[in-house]
Structure 1
Amino acid sequence: MLLDRVKPLDAILATAERKSLHRSLGPIQLMLFGIGCIIGTGIFVLTAAGAQKAGPGLMLAFIIAGAVCIVAALCYAEIAAMIPVAGSAYTYSYATMGEFLAWTVGWALVLEYAIAASAVSVGWSGYFTGTILNEFLGIQLPTWLSAGPLALGGVEGGLINLPALVIALLITWLLMIGTKESAVFNSILVAIKITALTAFIVLTLPKAEAANFNPFLPAGIFGGFGTGVGAVGAAATIFFAYVGFDAVSTAAEETKNPQRNVPIGLVGSLLICTIFYILVAAGAIGTLGGQPIMGPNGVPFPAGSEELARQCAMPQYKEALVCSNEALAHVLRNIGFSTIGNALGIAAFLALPSVILILLFGQTRIFFVMARDGLLPEGLSKVHPKWKTPYVVTALTGVVVAVAAAFLPVGQLADIANAGTLYAFMMVAIAVMMLRRRDPNRERKFRTPALWLVGPLTIGGCIFLFLNLPFEAMMVLPIWTIIGFFVYFGYSRRSSHLGQGRVEVHEDEAHDLAPHLPGVDDPNHQH
């Protein structure tokens, strides 16, 4: 039987019991933690790609994506509080749906984290070249060194995005030698990000003009299956701006009165971030205009496409929001706030490398847990004798991330990363509903309210957004999954520890070997 290998939940929970954590977090602390986890690359970088897909309808796109996140978060909260161990959606699936489906989730997460780290690297590159080099040092990096080739969605004359390549490799090296990011430093970065967005809203909204919001939905609400445009298409892309909320759900084990405080923290942080995002979009579009550049058929050119890159090279679109690599700083410079725009660029320049670090950490954590289960060669998770980190898989991952960042645009990378994320979130919702039916009497520190409604809404919302990604991004996930089938049936199934009757749970050991990064006990913490 293909679905017969289910990892015993009692074995996993025994590990969780051994490393039970002190309950100290209240609802406000959870909410602030969530805001810090969520606000990141998406809003700083993807505003331009979202506007190209939906125009002013980007504001509606943030609401759609936020709504899907809220129901997914409530599902995550129940199972994260119940199975508070490393491995996230992979471990949850292993304990409910069995090894084969857990493999597909873990395999999708491996893709998601790697591609997401590449997207953040490309986003960082835009702020580095635009703010640090151009504005402060007066250095104009040649196009062939600052963008991917046109054939891959880059720009005319582009060859390689060198800054994105370098930052990805640098972070990989730091992670390999066991860098530690202090909680204080992380808190400072969160404060910088929130201050920067607040300043942006205060400065731009008074200068917004109603004419810039007309037409509000130039590409409609639904752009059509596989087109990735329209408000829903934009929602599928800027979903990237919300992911990270699940780090709040994994804090359920450390929360006082989780049944009350977890939903407040989750829903509260998502609502606050949604309001932030809508106001940022309103300020950017209202001041500079955010109408997409339309193709001859009246449909916006795809974000990150060769056609859009050619249009953006034309003089009339040079200052357009949809063509900017550093959208928010670009808006402020164009409305007379160059100094503050540059300060915002510095904020992004400082904050984004920590996001790359967290993503690469999460990716190697998934690899580590899968290798300890025997599904991947244990050599991949070999721990360096001096650095005490899984250096082999970190190095391999880092090279893949760096190459993708060097040649692909941020919009395409975000869409591919979202495909894996949406699949994982859907599987978590299924796992929660299966556990409710199969094991209704097991202790649940947090129970998802109205699961009969929230579960199907999560599954439907994830499928809905997936089907509104660009066709190319949609196809990456099934192709990657088919590759995963060959790996699973060629190696993993016969090497599986569970299949050999060896039931061991090592998540606590994996935690001890990893760098101590705040808020990353769950590898989905990101963006």
Structure 2
Amino acid sequence: MIFGRVKSLDAILATAEKKSLTRTLGPIQLTLLGVGAIIGTGIFVLTSEAAQKAGPGMMWSFVIAGLVCAVAALCYSELASMVPVSGSAYTYTYAVMGELLAWMVGWALILEYAVAASAVSVGWSGYFVGLLANAGIELPLWLTVGTYAPGGFINLPALVIALLVTLLLMIGTTESARVNAVLVAIKVTALTMFIVLTLPMMKGQNFDPFLPNGWFGNGGATGLGAVGAAASIFFAYVGFDAVSTAAEETKNPQRNVPIGLIGSLGICTIFYLLVAAGAIGTVGAQPIVGAAGEVIQPGTTVFAAQCQSLLAAGNEPLVCSKEALAFVLREIGYPWFGNLIGLAAFLALPSVILIMLFGQTRIFFVMARDGLLPQKLSAIHPRWKTPHIVTMITGVAVAIFAAFLPVGKLADISNSGTLFAFFMVAIAVLVLRRTQPARHRPFRTPFIWIVAPLTILGTVGLFFNLPLESQLVLPVWGGIGLVVYFLYGYRKSHVGQGIVEVHEDDPDAPPPPVPPAPSFS
């Protein structure tokens, strides 16, 4: 029976010890990985998208999305500390609710990470093109945006950066983490500079009206209003779960994974609210409307055409900018600092692409290790010690998506997969509390019977406030996943064949991991 194919937590841990990735990441590196994944396109680029959907009310959008992420983080922390292996929500679901649902979660995580990496690549492209424009180099429109915009064809910069980051990640985890640490420092410094320059110049009138589109889009327009913007801006937070996918490469994961999850989420939430307030208070964030006074969905052809008309008239608003924070500083008389912010985004956003690809490839790695995908995908490079084959495949797919789709659409599609995974994690925590109450939990989610239901309600609520087309992507993608599962994974599954461990002489196994330090929790 499909739902009876449950892989015990003990078997998961035993398998990971037989064929695992090298444990190299400590608590500081892990927190930096979290901050690097979280702070990125959401605040550097999606500020414009959120402003179009909610106006100044996007302040509430950050709060709503942050609260949902906070309760999800607590659920993640308990499971990640109990099951310190690669696979994130996929692994947890396998241990609690069986193979079929685990496959669906893993398939949704593929949607999350791969599409998210594409979205960040497009965001980086906007800042790169802006920097060149301010240096007097104008790239033709057809080379910088996809076919969704009038005159667009391919986003070449986004395609190139996705492929370059893929190459870096193939070289090795430790090398990638070192580069990431430097880029996170650049990012945090840039945002701090933005806050210091903008907060003293805020004007109260720029916050009025505060909710021009209401909470739900004034008349029920899907994906608009403060809650609709929260469903999109949720993308700004989702990187934190990449920390849990790195659990198998973390020293003393029982202690360090919760530190990385909760610490990175707290740091980033404070930054988001301060940066959003500075952007709104200085230049305003009112949405643009169509001929009949209707609010236009960002990322559409109509929206792109309206923005091109305003730009031609010399009146580009914040909602149209592809480099929101640099745009704000240039508008308030700090063009030099604006260019520095653009340079910081140019240097730092690749770290977000790196972490999204990192999470994606590790999900593929553990699914292949379980036999649900071809074993060749879990092959470890003899020199780099990374799953190089799946990294290369994922990177090419990410580059193709980035080349042709707008950042907002990509973010919303990614969110649909993320919200489903978070929903399943919350259920898994509750089920495990009932079925295995005596199991050791290095980190226990406080008030679990309040926190987990809030996670479930929050994820469902945000999902149904995504644009309709983004909602529909999840069931369509899920249907494709079911076909793949029954054609391959169901027959090849290790659990289905009664295999619960990987043998010591596995030719793909990397060297044994360094034993983790004792837990202090």
Q: TM-score, normalised by structure 1?
A: 0.88
Unaligned runs of 5+ in 2: 513-521
Q: Which shows bigger deviation, 58-67 or 225-234?
A: 225-234
Answering whether residue 294 of structure 2 is matched by residue 294 of structure 1, we say: no
Q: Which shows bigger deviation, 288-297 or 307-316?
A: 288-297
Shift of 1:205: 1.7
Answering whether residue 395 of structure 2 is matched by residue 401 of structure 1, we say: no
Distance in 1, matches of 2:266 and 2:435, equals: 33
Q: Is residue 129–residue 141 contact of structure 1 (8 Å, CA) maintained in 2? A: yes
Q: Is residue 5–residue 98 contact of structure 1 (8 Å, CA) maintained in 2? A: yes
Per-residue Cα deviation, 1:156-186 (whole angstroms, up to 9, x for no partner): 2111111011111222233345475354443
* Match of residue 157 from structure 1: 151
Answering whether residue 356 of structure 2 is matched by residue 359 of structure 1, we say: yes
* Match of residue 173 from structure 1: 167
SS of 2:175's equivalent? Answer: coil
* Match of residue 234 from structure 2: 239
* Match of residue 128 from structure 2: 128
Per-residue Cα deviation, 1:325-350 (whole angstroms, up to 9, x for no partner): 11001111111111111111111111
Distance in 2, matches of 1:89 and 1:422, equals: 11
Map 1:102-113; keep pairs closer than 5 Å: 102-113=102-113
Amino acid at match of 1:167: I
* Match of residue 185 from structure 2: 191
Unaligned runs of 5+ in 1: 515-527
SS of 1:345's equivalent? Answer: helix
* Match of residue 445 from structure 1: 442
Answering whether residue 373 of structure 2 is matched by residue 376 of structure 1, we say: yes
Q: Is residue 80–residue 257 contact of structure 2 (8 Å, CA) maintained in 1? A: no
CA, structure 1 residues 234+512, in 2 after alignment: closer, same or farther (shift >3 Å)? farther
Per-residue Cα deviation, 1:445-504 (whole angstroms, up to 9, x for no partner): 111111111111001100111111111111111100000111111221111111011112
Distance in 1, matches of 2:89 and 2:386, equals: 22
* Match of residue 524 from structure 1: none
Map 1:229-268; keep pairs closer than 5 Å: 229-247=224-242, 266-267=261-262
Aligned length: 505
Amino acid at match of 2:306: Q
SS of 2:3's equivalent? Answer: coil
Shift of 1:17: 7.2
Map 1:324-473; keep pairs closer than 5 Å: 324-384=321-381, 388-473=385-470
Map 1:36-185; keep pairs closer than 5 Å: 36-131=36-131, 133-136=132-135, 138-149=136-147, 152=148, 155-178=149-172, 180-181=174-175, 183-185=177-179
Distance in 2, matches of 1:349 and 1:322, equals: 20
SS of 2:52's equivalent? Answer: helix
Distance in 2, matches of 1:179 and 1:435, equals: 32
Shift of 1:15: 5.1
Q: TM-score, normalised by structure 2?
A: 0.89
SS of 1:481's equivalent? Answer: helix
Shift of 1:251: 6.6
Match of 1:205 among 183, 189, 199: 199
Per-residue Cα deviation, 1:194-242 (whole angstroms, up to 9, x for no partner): 1111111111122222221111001101127671110011111111111
Distance in 2, matches of 1:390 and 1:141, equals: 36
CA, structure 1 residues 257+361, in 2 after alignment: closer, same or farther (shift >3 Å)? closer
CA, structure 1 residues 229+89, in 2 after alignment: closer, same or farther (shift >3 Å)? same
Distance in 1, matches of 2:329 and 2:196, equals: 11
Q: Is residue 242–residue 355 contact of structure 2 (8 Å, CA) maintained in 1? A: no
Match of 1:214 among 185, 208, 214: 208
Q: Is residue 226–residue 471 contact of structure 1 (8 Å, CA) maintained in 2? A: no
Per-residue Cα deviation, 1:3-58 (whole angstroms, up to 9, x for no partner): 01001221123356788989985xx9987775454222211111101111101001
Distance in 1, matches of 2:221 and 2:5, equals: 35
SS of 1:314's equivalent? Answer: helix
Distance in 2, matches of 1:89 and 1:242, equals: 16
Distance in 2, matches of 1:64 and 1:431, equals: 23
Distance in 2, matches of 1:506 and 1:58, equals: 52
